[in-house]
Amino acid sequence: MELFFETLTGLREKLATKKVSPTEVLDALKKRVEAVEPSIRAFNHIDWETARAEAAALTPEDLAKPLGGVPVAIKDVMAVKGQPLTCSSRILKGFVSPYDACVIEKLRAAGAIPLGRANMDEFAMGSSTENSADGPTHNPWDTGRIPGGSSGGSAACVSADEAIVALGSDTGGSIRQPAALCGCVGLKPTYGRVSRYGLVAFASSLDQIGPLSKTVEDSARILQVIAGHDARDNTSAAEPVPDYLSGLNQGVKGLKLGVPKEYFIHGIDPEVEKIIRDAIQHLSDLGAEIVDISLPHTNYALASYYIVAPAEASANLARFDGVRYGARVKDGKDVIDTYCRTREKGFGSEVKRRIILGTYVLSSGYYDAYYLRAQKVRTLIRRDFSEAFGKCDAILTPTTPTPAFKIGEKTEDPMQMYLADVFTIAVNMAGICGLSLPCGFAAQGKHGRLPVGLQIIGKAFDEATLLRVGQAYEQSTEWRKERPACA
């Protein structure tokens, strides 16, 4: 088997026993990227020379570390020293990061090699990776379709075996949704579990970094490395990090898994609903107790999210003014004109739409009517989950209402695009954790096979239960062995 087909766990065994070298792994990935990247376009930038130099410099002690010699693709929203940091936006073209994000420091300390800048929706604002100044990424299962977003490049490169594992960020579903549409595993940790230091902020109270991988165990291994308190991030939680691998294979017997009626709604694709219900039945057959629950304020999650997130974005993106770093128009009449024209030319239409919306809901006379009310709804959503977890250990839902749609199909209708995240947004609003993993295929698309994802939602800081449930399902099914059309 080619090295690029390996899982992180399998590759680690080969590296630790010196069956392969880190440079051999990179050479294999380079071969794969050259073969499929023209049709996938998952990366904005890869510096093979630097990555190879880092691989060659690894010592035997480095290779004995948890991720020794493993290349990790990085979404282009996290700082990696000496590499471009553009957030797939024209306004940051040419900007090179002067430092490493906390998660990159932790990856390096564990022996990993940061590899490439994965494409994304500009400033993580989107559900399809079509809002990128570098052009859209394509779904490996059907290149005429979107990979999801905003971490579409991260999901696509893992699915297409251009990377062993990747990091993404999730503000309203941006890890889980593309993982579902590309047929890989995506984990959104609890807010505060992973440091956001060095992550370019979209919505500071919602953003969270997490892994995209080929298996549940691989996600557990990455989370083990990147989780933990960081004093540089004042939202980082001082919570102990458990051993995620030790309880991974305990099975689901004795667990109560909740199924909320609000997630099986009008508009969900019939094939998706059947596949999810079959997955729920499978977990029941494995010994889990399935219980019906209600999350009554789910219907308000999407509307409140699109007030809170743009409001925070309007403040966070004010720093991109063409004065301190990034692109700048050269013929501005004065500072204000330069500032305005730089932002006009530098930001794409979706980013502008959200900045305008966010500024509006924070403005005098509208703050109480919109922003304050959205925050009250957020409290109710959090309360819904708290009450539900009094009846169950984890919650099962679809990750997305439909399989991947065609590129260009929803770009003219922002509301339809926003609805792609209808099942993932509430998790971010509540600040809890969620996992998406493959659970079947819809008989749609060019090849008649589009991945469907099962979402498992957990209590705050209880990623261990998500991983346990996901592992039980994954290892008792064959979906993880399926390969996309580009393979």
For the annotated catalytic residues, the residue numbers are 75, 150, 174
Short-list 204, 196, 4, CA closest to 106 = 196
Classify strands 185-188 and 209-213 as parallel, antiparallel or unpaired. Answer: antiparallel
Q: Which of 454, 476, 470, 463 is nearest to 181 (CA)?
A: 454
**CA 174 to CA 298: how far, in whole Å?**
18
For the chain, give percent helix, strand, coil, nearest 5.
40, 15, 45
Q: How far apart are CA 253 and CA 42, in angstroms?
A: 39
Q: Helix, strand or coil for residue 326?
A: coil
DSSP 254-283: T-EEEEEGGGS-TTS-HHHHHHHHHHHHHH
Query: What is the rounded CA–CA span in Å between residue 116 and residue 218?
Result: 19
Q: State the burial class of residue 119 (Cβ atoms within 10 Å of its Cβ: 0-12, 13-18, 19+).
A: buried
Which residue(s) pair with 396 in the sheet?
456
Reference 151, options 213, 100, 197; nearest CA is 213
C-alpha distances out from residue 392 to 242, 388, 413, Å: 21, 7, 37
Tokens 């594992």 sit at which residue?
Answer: 165
Q: What is the dihedral of CA 172, 175, 178, 179, to 10 degrees?
A: -140
Could you tell me the two tokens for 18?
């010196």
Supply angle C-alpha 254, 260, 265, rounded to 5: 145
- Of 368, 434, 348, 376, nearest to 136 by C-alpha is 348
Strand partners, 40: none
Q: Which strand (E) or helix (H) includes residue 351?
A: helix 349-362
Phi, psi of 394 (to 5 degrees): -160, 165
Tokens of 376: 């009250």
**342 DSSP β-pair partners:** none
**CA-based angle 60:66:69, to the nearest 5?**
50
